C-alpha cells in the first residue's frame, strides 16, 4: 500500500507548482509521537491558527445500550484561540472548526486508522495540494500537513474523507465535520450568534442488532446510493433542539451519503433562507420548502419570539418524486419511477425510502429570553459573474452524467487517478461556462437509470445561470423545483433527471488538479468523479 501511494504522490508532482515530499518522509515534523509526516511545513508560513487533527477509531454512545464503533477525528489547538475547535465529544462527528477570513491556518492530520485516508475541505478555495485529492491519501501512522490562508467569504463549509474508492464508507463511519468561516461583513450584520447560531448536521444511518453501523456494498445500495433507516442530527437520533424565545441562525449541512431532503417546518411556516453553500445571500428568501442534497449547506433564520414556552416544532422532509418519465427508472420500472416505497420494498434499500414523508428533528421552546429579533432586509453583497467574461460564453463545457450496468460516469468516463483528458484542462484565472446534463436531451436515456445527481466542483464557489428541464420530466420536477435556491455562491447543485443546469465557475489563483463529481458518495466511489487540471 505504502509503495503505491508514494508512487501516486510522486506522479502528482508534475501537476503541482509546490510539490509535496513524495517518496521521502520527514519523521521530525510530526507533532505526535509515532507519526511520520509525508510533507514538511513551509519555512515562511507562520500560522494564526494551528490545529492537530487525529483520525482514530472510537466507541461512542449513539443508541441506548451498546456503544457504536466509529471513526472519529479529534483535534487539539496548538496555536490560536481555543474557540477554533469544538471536538463534538461523545458523538462520531468530526470537530467543528471555526476560522476567520484572512487567517493563515495549519492543520496537522494524523492517520491512526486501520486504513488509508485523507481529508478534503469542501467548498474552500485552497491550493491543489492542500485540497485533499485522493492522490494524497496517507497510511496508518502517517501525517499530512495542510497550510493555507482562508480566502473564502463567511460561510458554512465542511470537510470529509476523500479516499479513493472508500469515501462513502469513511464518511459513513464518521469522517466529516463543519468548517465555519466568518468575516467582518457578516459580523457587521449582528445575526444571532453564540448559542443562537446552531450548526445542524443531518445524516442517515442504519444500525444492526448490536448497535453497530450497518453498511453494505449491495448492488442496489450502490446504484441508488446508501439510504439509512434513521435520521441523525449532530450524530444523535430523535434530535431535539431546545431554544429560547428569540431569533436563531440555523446552519444545516446535508452530510448524508445519498439522501436528499425536502425541508419544511411542519406548521407551515415558510423557511427563511439566509445563505447557501458559499455563505449569505444578498437578501433573505422565503420558500415553502427547500431542497438540500448531499454536500449542500443551508442557513436559515427562525424567530421563536412569538411562540409559547413548551411548544414544539418539527422539521420534516416532505414527499417528492425524482424519477424521469423519459428514462427507464431502475431498468424494469419504466415510467412508474423510483418513488421510495417501491424501491424500499422491492430492493429493501431502506425502511425510510427516499422521497417519503418523515420527521428530521424537533425544536422545543424551552426558555424565555430577550433577543434582537429583526431580520436584516439585506445581507451581504454578491458580485454577479458575467457571461461576457467567460472564456467560453457560447460553448459551455458539458458534464454529462450517466449510470448503467454498475458504472457511473461523467462524459462517458469513470474516475481514474492521473488521467487528464484534453477537455479537462482549464486555463488558470479563467471563468468557465459549464453545463451539467442529466439526460436533458433524452438521447441515450432508454438504457440509463434516471436519478438525481448532486454535482460538486472543488475550488472556488460558482453561480447558477439557468436551469432547464425537458417536457417528459416536468411533472416530477414540479415536486422539487420550488425548493431550489438559485442565488448566491454554490459549490454543489442538485441536477434532477431530465434537467440541465448551467453555471459560471471561476478557476482563479491555483494551478493543479481540482475534482468534479457527484456528491452521492456511492456514485462518487463508483466512478462518477473526474479531475480538472488547471494550468
Ligand atoms: Cu465534498 Cu470532492 O467533495
Ligand atoms: Cu469538495
Ligand atoms: Cu450521482
Percent of the chain clearing pLDDT 90 (strictly above) = 82
Q: What are phi and psi of 371, to 5 degrees?
A: -140, 170
Q: Is the model's pLDDT at 72 over the cut of 80?
A: yes
Going from the Cα of 291 to the center of ligand 3, the distance in angstroms, rounded, reads 16
| pLDDT at residue number 341 | 36
396-425 average pLDDT score: 93
Averaged pLDDT for residues 504-514: 98
Query: What is the pLDDT, as a whole number, of residue 27?
Result: 47
Chain-wide mean pLDDT for the chain? 90
> Looking at the CA of 523, which ligand is closest?
3
Q: Which atom of ligand 1 is nearest to the CA of 529?
A: 2
Residue 350 banded pLDDT, cuts 50, 70, 90: confident
Is the Cβ–Cβ distance between 93 and 235 less than 8 Å?
yes
- Cα–Cα dist 390/87, whole Å: 42
The mean pLDDT value for 390-411 works out to 93
Rounded mean pLDDT, 475-491: 97
Nine cell digits for residue 206: 442504519
Res. 520: pLDDT tops 80: yes
pLDDT reported for residue 218: 82
Q: Residue 437: how many CB atoms within 10 A of its CB? A: 21
Average pLDDT on 152-173 reads 98
- In the reported structure, the alpha carbon of residue 519 is separated from the centroid of ligand 1 by a whole-number distance in angstroms of 7
Binding-site residues, ligand 1, Cβ < 6 A: 120, 122, 160, 162, 295, 456, 458, 515, 517, 519
Minimal-distance CA residue to ligand 1 atom 3: 122
Atom of ligand 1 nearest to the CA of 132: 2
Indicate if the alpha-carbon torsion angle 341, 526, 171, 511 is positive or negative. negative
Confidence band for 5, pLDDT divided at 50, 70 and 90 = low
Q: Which of 84, 493, 458 is nearest to 293 (CA)?
A: 493
pLDDT at 323: 63
Residue nearest to atom 1 of ligand 1 (CA): 122
Ligand 1 atom with the shortest distance to the CA of 162: 2
pLDDT at 331: 36
Quick: pLDDT tens for 253-312: 999 999 999 999 999 999 999 999 999 999 999 999 999 999 999 999 999 999 999 999
Q: Which atom of ligand 1 is nearest to the CA of 295?
A: 1
Question: pTM of the prediction?
Answer: 0.93
SS3 for 71-121, per residue? EEEEEEEEECCHHHEECCCCCCCCCEEEEECCCEEEEEEEECCCCCECEEE
Between the CA of 42 and the centroid of ligand 2 the distance, in Å, is: 24
State the ligand closest to the CA atom of 459: 2
Query: Are 268 and 280 contacting, i.e. CB atoms less than 8 angstroms apart?
Result: no
| Ligand 3: centre distance to CA 148 (Å) | 30
Which ligand ends up closest to the CA of 410? 3
Please tell me the number of the ligand nearest to residue 297's CA. Answer: 1
CATH of domain 387-534: 2.60.40.420
pLDDT in tens, 186-213: 999 999 999 999 999 999 999 999 999 9
Centroid of ligand 3 to alpha carbon of 354 (angstroms) = 14
Nearest bound ligand to the CA of residue 159: 1
**Tens-place pLDDT, residues 117-137:** 999 999 999 999 999 999 999
- Decide if 7-187 and 387-534 have a common fold: yes
**What is the atom index within ligand 1 of the atom nearest the CA of 492?**
1
Residue 428, Cβ neighbours under 10 Å: how many? Answer: 12
State the distance from the centre of ligand 1 to the C-alpha of 456, rounded, in angstroms.
Answer: 7
pLDDT beyond 90 at 507: yes
Q: Which atom of ligand 1 is nearest to the CA of 122?
A: 1
Which listed ligand is nearest to 518 at the C-alpha? Answer: 3
Instruction: Tell me the domain boundaries of the chain.
Output: 7-187, 194-367, 387-534
Region 73-95 average pLDDT:
98
Q: Of residues 26 and 85, which shows the higher confidence score?
A: 85
Q: What is the position in ligand 1's atom list of the atom closest to the CA of 160?
A: 1
- Banded model confidence at residue 34, pLDDT cuts 50, 70, 90: confident
Residue 20 CA to ligand 1 centre (angstroms): 21
Tell me what pLDDT residue 334 has.
Answer: 33
How far is residue 369's CA from residue 366's CA, in Å, rounded to a whole number? 10
Separation of CA 365 and ligand 1 centre (Å): 36
**In 3-state terms, what secondary structure has residue 228?**
coil
| Per-residue pLDDT tens over the stretch 413-439 | 999 998 999 999 999 999 999 999 999
Grid coordinates of 507: 478557476
- Identify which has the larger pLDDT, 222 or 532: 532
Range 374-403 average pLDDT:
97
Tell me how far the alpha carbon of residue 199 lies from the centroid of ligand 2, in angstroms. 19
Superfamily of domain 7-187 in CATH is: Cupredoxins -  blue copper proteins (2.60.40.420)
Burial readout 396-421 (b: 16 or more C-beta within 10 A, e: otherwise): bbebbbbbeeeebbbeebebeeeeee
Average pLDDT over every residue of 483-504:
98
Q: For 226-250, what is the mean pLDDT?
A: 98
pLDDT-based confidence at residue 448 (cuts at 50, 70, 90): low
**Do residues 519 and 255 make contact, with C-beta atoms less than 8 angstroms apart?**
no
What is the position in ligand 1's atom list of the atom closest to the CA of 524? Answer: 2
Top-confidence residue, 268 or 407: 268
What's the CA-to-centroid distance between 156 and ligand 2, angstroms?
13
Superfamily name and number for 194-367: Cupredoxins -  blue copper proteins (2.60.40.420)
Amino acid at each position: 500500500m505504502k509503495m503505491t501511494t508514494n508512487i501516486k504522490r510522486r506522479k502528482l508532482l508534475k501537476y503541482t507548482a509546490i510539490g509535496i515530499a513524495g517518496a521521502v518522509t520527514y519523521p521530525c515534523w510530526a507533532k505526535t509521537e509515532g507519526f511520520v509526516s509525508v510533507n514538511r511545513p513551509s519555512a515562511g508560513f507562520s500560522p494564526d491558527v494551528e490545529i492537530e487533527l487525529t483520525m482514530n477509531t472510537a466507541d461512542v454512545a449513539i443508541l441506548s445500550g451498546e456503544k457504536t464503533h466509529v471513526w472519529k477525528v479529534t483535534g487539539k489547538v496548538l496555536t490560536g484561540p481555543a474557540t477554533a475547535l469544538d471536538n463534538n465529544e461523545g458523538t462520531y462527528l468530526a470537530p467543528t472548526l471555526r476560522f476567520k477570513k484572512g487567517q493563515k491556518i495549519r492543520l496537522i492530520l494524523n492517520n491512526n486508522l486501520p486504513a488509508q485516508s485523507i481529508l478534503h475541505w469542501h467548498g474552500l478555495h485552497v491550493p491543489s495540494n492542500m485540497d485533499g485529492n485522493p492522490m494524497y491519501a496517507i497510511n496508518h501512522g502517517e501525517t499530512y500537513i495542510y497550510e493555507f490562508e482562508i480566502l473564502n467569504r463567511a460561510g458554512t463549509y465542511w470537510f470529509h474523507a476523500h479516499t479513493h474508492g472508500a469515501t462513502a464508507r469513511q464518511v459513513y463511519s464518521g469522517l466529516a465535520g463543519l468548517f465555519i468561516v466568518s468575516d467582518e461583513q457578516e459580523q457587521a450584520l449582528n445575526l444571532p450568534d453564540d448559542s443562537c447560531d446552531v450548526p445542524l448536521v443531518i445524516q442517515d444511518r442504519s444500525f444492526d442488532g448490536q448497535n453497530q453501523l450497518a453498511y453494505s456494498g449491495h448492488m442496489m445500495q450502490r446504484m441508488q446510493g446508501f439510504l439509512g433507516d434513521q435520521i441523525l442530527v449532530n450524530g444523535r437520533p430523535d434530535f431535539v433542539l431546545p431554544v429560547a424565545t428569540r431569533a436563531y441562525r440555523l446552519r444545516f449541512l446535508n452530510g448524508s451519503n445519498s439522501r436528499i431532503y425536502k425541508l419544511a417546518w411542519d406548521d407551515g411556516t415558510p423557511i427563511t433562507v439566509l445563505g447557501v453553500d458559499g455563505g449569505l445571500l444578498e437578501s433573505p428568501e422565503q420558500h415553502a420548502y427547500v431542497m438540500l442534497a448531499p454536500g449542500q449547506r443551508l442557513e436559515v433564520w427562525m424567530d421563536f419570539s412569538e411562540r409559547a414556552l413548551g411548544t414544539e416544532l418539527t422539521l420534516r422532509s416532505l414527499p417528492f418524486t425524482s424519477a424521469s418519465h423519459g428514462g427507464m427508472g431502475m431498468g424494469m420500472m419504466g415510467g412508474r419511477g423510483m418513488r421510495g416505497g417501491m424501491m424500499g420494498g422491492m430492493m429493501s434499500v431502506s425502511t425510510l425510502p427516499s422521497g417519503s414523508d418523515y420527521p428530521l428533528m424537533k425544536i422545543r421552546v424551552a426558555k424565555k429570553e430577550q433577543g434582537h429579533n429583526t431580520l436584516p432586509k439585506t445581507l451581504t453583497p454578491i458580485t454577479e459573474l458575467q457571461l461576457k467574461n467567460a472564456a467560453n460564453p457560447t460553448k459551455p463545457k458539458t458534464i454529462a452524467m450517466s449510470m448503467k450496468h454498475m458504472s457511473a460516469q461523467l462524459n462517458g468516463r469513470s474516475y481514474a487517478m492521473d488521467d487528464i483528458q484534453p477537455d479537462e484542462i482549464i486555463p488558470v484565472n479563467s471563468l468557465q461556462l459549464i453545463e451539467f446534463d442529466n439526460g436533458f436531451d433524452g438521447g441515450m436515456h432508454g438504457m440509463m437509470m434516471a436519478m438525481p445527481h448532486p454535482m460538486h466542483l472543488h475550488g472556488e464557489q460558482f453561480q447558477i445561470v439557468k436551469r432547464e428541464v425537458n417536457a417528459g420530466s416536468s411533472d416530477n420536477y414540479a415536486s422539487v423545483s420550488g425548493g431550489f435556491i438559485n442565488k448566491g455562491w454554490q459549490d454543489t447543485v442538485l441536477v434532477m433527471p431530465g434537467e440541465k443546469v448551467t453555471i459560471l465557475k471561476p478557476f482563479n489563483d491555483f494551478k493543479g488538479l481540482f475534482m468534479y463529481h457527484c456528491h452521492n458518495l456511492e456514485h462518487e466511489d463508483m466512478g462518477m468523479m473526474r479531475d480538472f487540471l488547471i494550468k
